[in-house]
A and B are shown apart, each in its own frame.
Chain A
Amino acid sequence: MLALRQVSAHYDGAIVALDHVDASVGAGQIVALLGANGAGKTTLLKAIAGMLPFDRGDIVGGDILFEDASLLGRHPAEISRRGIALVQDGRQCFRQLTVAENLQAASFAHPKGAAERLELVQGYFPFLCEMMDRKAGLLSGGQLQMLVIGMAIMCNPRLLMLDEPSLGLSPVMVQSVFDAIERMHRELKMTIVVAEQTVPRLLKIASDAYVLSRGRIVMHAPPSAMTEEELQKVYLN
């Protein structure tokens, strides 16, 4: 479904952020993207979503193929229309707008079936129903994460990428986030990529895992074959 071939990326024309990354994601998989802070996870996801140019970054080599069509040089809005949604780190949503407006805005580029998807989102996260008229900025961290995932569902993606969805959340909330991820994978047939530092539950549900370090893929194996020791070695390196 998604293939990265020798992708290299720079920031400000000089700082190397990705160094000849090869990776692939098959339809229906959950893929874990692991690595310490600054390993290049966010850069990799942003490169796929076409958002690097908006962060003073550039893809300087290689190719990114989604369903056999290159995504290089495409605008994020077009990539989103092709069926890729990115849940960015930091729970990026519109804090001055209401929850309802946030969800509505997320369906503009994908108007077909928006009403049904809104019901779906409310079914996944029932607490949102009571908060539709509240400003998103007033939600708690966990609620915001759910809202942002809900917004991604409104985009009706076939490939959903999440950047550190568990960061800064309580253990209970982390469990809810991963419940939602598993449900979307099972019920909505989404292919999912999750970038995290370490989450034992992610390693349980993922069928494939890549480990990034300093912009390179240093390990690629099914999570069951990865030992805690190996991971620690990479992280501390």
Chain B
Amino acid sequence: MLMFTLQLLVAGIATGSVYALIALGIVLIYKCSGVVNFAQGAFVMLGAYLTYGLVKLGLPAYVALLGAMILMAGCGMASERLVLRPMMKAPLVAVMTVTLGMLILMKAVCLAIWGPDQLAFPRLFPDGAVDVFGIFVTYNYLAAFVLSICLSVGFLAFYQLTPIGLMQRCTADNPRAALAIGIHTSNQISLAWSMSAALAGIGGALLASLNGLSLGLADIGLVAFPVIVLGGLTSLTGALVAGLLLGVLQALTDGLLTPVAEQFLRTYTSIYSAGALQQVVPYALLVVVLLVRPEGIFGQRGTERL
């Protein structure tokens, strides 16, 4: 039982680190432009399909992964330049609705090209597993975890320590002041979109390597939003922690809670299945946290300034 739980934990941490990577991108865009990007799930899906497409073209897995990341960066920048920049003077609600439109559009494009069926995602990492004190960690999970954590930490270091990272933080902190000292804020926003899409794309390929490739990957956005609200919406570290937490909770629900619940239901009622209980967990957690800490775990009270 303990081993089983630990096994679940390992799986949860691996998926959770990918969630964190995806959530990082949403927070990045929100911080510097105030837009909650509903298309992030579409970036995740598109990144996975592009990796798939590039492998089908005959590229080795690592090159395909890198290529998809670069293509996604371009896609993120194009979304900002072509769709969002012309809306500079529009209200934020309109902008966010447009990102929702982008989600639907990208889903339709993927549907047209790759069809509605689940596809066998190419092997990015070798089969097999390492044995850590009796817990089997497959290379897939290990690679997803290591890559996500390296990318997340690398990104945070970039954000905190480099001059361009400082310009990003200036734009996020006070766009007017950034303009006044000669920072091209709109270019910084473009950069944020392209980095965010690139991170999401990699996250998508990793998720697909764990769970298979289908249009349903776009729904990951629905999981990522509770993650960023939990993390406090403006906190990058918050997104990381909340992502990991959510991955673990989902794995534990799936492996422990669902069987118990189903057992209970089958014994006392005529209901046979508890369905996808793990999809309810993020929202349940969200409701509880928002009741206790409306600003999120790492959020700051009163971030609105006068």
Q: Which residues of A contact B (CB under 8 A)?
A: 49, 51, 53-54, 56, 75-77, 80-81, 85-88, 92-97, 101, 104-106, 108-110, 151, 154-155
Q: Which residues of B contact A (CB under 8 A)?
A: 88-89, 163, 166-167, 169-170, 173-184, 305
In the complex, the answer to whether B182 meets A109 with C-beta atoms within 8 Å is: yes
In the complex, the answer to whether A76 meets B182 with C-beta atoms within 8 Å is: yes
CA distance A229 to B10 in the complex (A): 79
Q: Which of A75, A87, A101 contacts B166 (CB 8 A)?
A: A101
Residue from the set A96, A109, A154, A155 with the largest chain B CB neighbour count within 10 Å: A96
Least distance between A204 CB and chain B CB atoms (Å): 28
Q: Which of A54, A80, A94 contacts B170 (CB 8 A)?
A: A94
Least distance between A150 CB and chain B CB atoms (Å): 11
In the complex, the answer to whether A104 meets B166 with C-beta atoms within 8 Å is: yes
In the complex, the answer to whether A80 meets B305 with C-beta atoms within 8 Å is: no
Known: A94-B178, A110-B182; 5 extra A-B contacts, CB below 8 A, are: A86-B180, A93-B174, A93-B177, A97-B173, A105-B167
Q: Which of B89, B169, B177, B183 contacts A108 (CB 8 A)?
A: B183
Least distance between A6 CB and chain B CB atoms (Å): 25
Least distance between B27 CB and chain A CB atoms (Å): 14
Q: Which residues of A contact B177 (CB under 8 A)?
A: 88, 92-94
Q: Which residues of A contact B178 (CB under 8 A)?
A: 94, 105
Q: Which residues of B contact A108 (CB under 8 A)?
A: 163, 166-167, 181-183
In the complex, the answer to whether A54 meets B179 with C-beta atoms within 8 Å is: yes
Q: Which residues of A contact B163 (CB under 8 A)?
A: 104, 108
Closest 6 CB pairs of A and B: A109-B182, A80-B182, A92-B177, A94-B173, A106-B181, A76-B179
A109-B183 contact, Cβ under 8 Å, with A94-B174, A95-B173: yes
**Closest chain B residue to A51 by CB distance?**
B179
**Closest chain B residue to A106 by CB distance?**
B181
Residue from the set B175, B179, B181, B305 with the largest chain A CB neighbour count within 10 Å: B181
In the complex, the answer to whether B180 meets A49 with C-beta atoms within 8 Å is: yes
Q: Which residues of A contact B174 (CB under 8 A)?
A: 92-95
CA distance A93 to B169 in the complex (A): 12
Q: Which residues of B contact A93 (CB under 8 A)?
A: 174, 177
Q: Which residues of B contact A51 (CB under 8 A)?
A: 176, 179-180
Q: Which residues of A contact B175 (CB under 8 A)?
A: 54
In the complex, the answer to whether B182 meets A88 with C-beta atoms within 8 Å is: no
In the complex, the answer to whether A77 meets B184 with C-beta atoms within 8 Å is: yes
Least distance between B26 CB and chain A CB atoms (Å): 19
In the complex, the answer to whether A97 meets B180 with C-beta atoms within 8 Å is: no
CA distance A75 to B178 in the complex (A): 12
Q: Which residues of A contact B180 (CB under 8 A)?
A: 49, 51, 76, 80, 85-88, 92
In the complex, the answer to whether A151 meets B176 with C-beta atoms within 8 Å is: no
A155-B181 contact, Cβ under 8 Å, with A56-B89, A105-B166, A108-B167: yes
Q: Which of A95, A101, A106 contacts B305 (CB 8 A)?
A: A95
In the complex, the answer to whether B170 meets A105 with C-beta atoms within 8 Å is: yes
CA distance A101 to B167 in the complex (A): 10
CA distance A70 to B153 in the complex (A): 45
Q: Which residues of A contact B176 (CB under 8 A)?
A: 51, 54, 88, 92
CA distance A94 to B32 in the complex (A): 13
**Closest chain A residue to B89 by CB distance?**
A56
Q: Could you list 12 examples of A-B contacts with CB < 8 Å? A: A51-B176, A54-B176, A85-B180, A92-B180, A94-B170, A95-B173, A97-B173, A104-B163, A108-B163, A109-B181, A109-B183, A154-B181
Q: Which residues of B contact A110 (CB under 8 A)?
A: 182
**Closest chain B residue to A87 by CB distance?**
B180
Residue from the set B167, B169, B173, B305 with the largest chain A CB neighbour count within 10 Å: B173
**Closest chain B residue to A154 by CB distance?**
B181
CA distance A77 to B181 in the complex (A): 7
CA distance A54 to B183 in the complex (A): 14
**Closest chain A residue to B170 by CB distance?**
A105
In the complex, the answer to whether B169 meets A77 with C-beta atoms within 8 Å is: no
Q: Which residues of B contact A154 (CB under 8 A)?
A: 181
CA distance A110 to B180 in the complex (A): 12
Q: Which residues of A contact B167 (CB under 8 A)?
A: 105, 108
